[in-house]
Each structure stands twice: as structure tokens, then as C-alpha cells.
Amino acid sequence: MTLESLQAYCAQKSGVSWDTPFGPDVLVFRVAGKIFVLAPIEVFDTVNLKCDPERAIELRERYDGIIPGYHMNKQHWNTVDVTGSVPEKLILELVDHSYDLIRASLPRKLRDELT
């Protein structure tokens, strides 16, 4: 997976924007202003993704390339290796899961605007 392919995948989702609020090293993807993906820019080797806490534990036990979220709430965020130890199909599924969790947390009016 490349940063460009991640960006293209996220850009297809409704209401997604991206910026670098933490400086030039981290690209942040948002839905309606709320973060659902963080990705390093210079050395794109991991992504941070929001995850259901129970699923996060299962994924960490199953994949060496999925660990508690670096610099994030470790209960709700995973850091996922994108260099090959985690299948790309699963990474994209986890991007979708992160987006869906954030979208579900939005007020109904905002959710309805994203359809």
C-alpha cells in the first residue's frame, strides 16, 4: 500500500477531507471534521485507525503488525503496519471500520448529509 493509494481510497468516501494539523509529517483524514486515519508522510509504514475495543484486541492477538495506537487512546486506536505483514484487503476494511465508527458518532443531521 502507498500513501497515494490510501488517500485515493479515503477520498472516495462521503465528507472526507485531509490536512496536516500536527505538522508536515502526519497526514490526517477526517469525516465531518473528526479524525479517522492518521498516516506518516515521509516514511509511510503504518496508519493509525480507530477500532471497536473488542475487535482491536482480537486483531492485535491475530496480527503482529497490529499494535495499540501510537500516541493515541490505546483502547480505541490501532497502529497498523502497511508494509506487508497485514493484508491490504484487511487494511482497507479497517479504514472502512474506522470511518464507520466516526460517522456513527456524528449527530444525525451530519450523518444524513453524508449520504
Q: CA–CA separation, 70 vs 59, rounded Å?
A: 15
Start-end of H helices in 1-115: 3-11, 53-62, 88-105, 108-113
Q: List the chain domain ranges.
A: 3-107
Three cell numbers at 2? 502507498
pTM: 0.94
pLDDT digits over 4-19, tens only?
Answer: 999 999 999 999 999 9
Question: Residues 24-83: pLDDT tens digits?
Answer: 999 999 999 999 999 999 999 999 999 999 999 999 999 999 999 988 989 999 999 999
Sheet with 77-81: list strands edge to edge: 16-19, 26-31, 34-40, 46-50, 77-81, 66-68
pLDDT exceeds 90 at position 112: no
Q: Cell triple for residue 7?
A: 488517500
User: How far is it, in rounded angstroms, from Cα 28 to Cα 36?
Assistant: 8
Q: Residue 5 to residues 21, 27, 58, 74: CA-CA distances in angstroms?
A: 21, 13, 26, 26
CATH for the 3-107 domain, from 2.60.15.10, 3.90.1150.30, 3.40.50.12280, 3.40.630.10: 3.90.1150.30
